[in-house]
Amino acid sequence: MTKSLLAIAVLSCAVIGCAPTAPPASRTSAPKTHMNMLQLMRAFPFPHSNVIFDTQSRDPAGPEKKQSMSFSVYRWSDSDTYAGWPGVENSALALSEMAPLLLLPRACANGKPAPVDQDDWKKAVEGLVTVGETVAKEARAKNIDAMLDLSEKVSNACAACHERYRDVDLTGGVRCEVEAG
């Protein structure tokens, strides 16, 4: 009889599964955020987009590469590892990688919730992912000719959110919130 009960238990596990019925809480809850939206923007997209913008006037492979990327998060004392085209590619990938962080619920600098659930916000985030991937591809190819157009596309991807949510009132009033009316 004990063997029969064991066989039924094993068969039941095989048929219906032995996994818990609900996933652990850590898998269903949103990741904890540590920055408000302004801090996130200043830490990631701002310096990395400036690396890309710098290619409009300086060739990352040129002799002045040590003077380029002046707004970079990279320090030149770190060696050439972060300079030149690898630095541009890394910054482009950083934009794509970090963009989904813009979808996590967090506060704006004014303490109000960021509009991360808005469709236009989500579309702008996807645009940032896409343009970052494109810039990375062209940086791997060392395509300096593509950088002017791509810098504009990065700027446009940022503007898709900024024009509606950030640039509402630059005097310290409303940010991350649609202007009434």
pLDDT in tens, 20-58: 444 555 556 778 999 999 999 988 998 889 889 988 888
Asked if 75 and 33 touch (Cβ cutoff 8 Å), the reply is no
Asked if 135 and 148 touch (Cβ cutoff 8 Å), the reply is no
Distance (Å, whole) CA 157 – CA 132:
10
* Predicted TM-score (pTM) above 0.85: no
Residues with Cβ within 8 Å of 13's Cβ and at least 6 positions away in sequence, in order, are none
In the chain, domain spans: 31-166
Q: Count Cβ atoms within 10 A of the Cβ of residue 103 and give its class: 0-12 exposed, 13-18 middle, 19 or more buried.
A: middle
Q: How confident is the model over 115-172, as pLDDT tens digits? A: 999 999 999 999 999 999 999 999 999 999 999 999 999 999 999 988 888 766 545 5
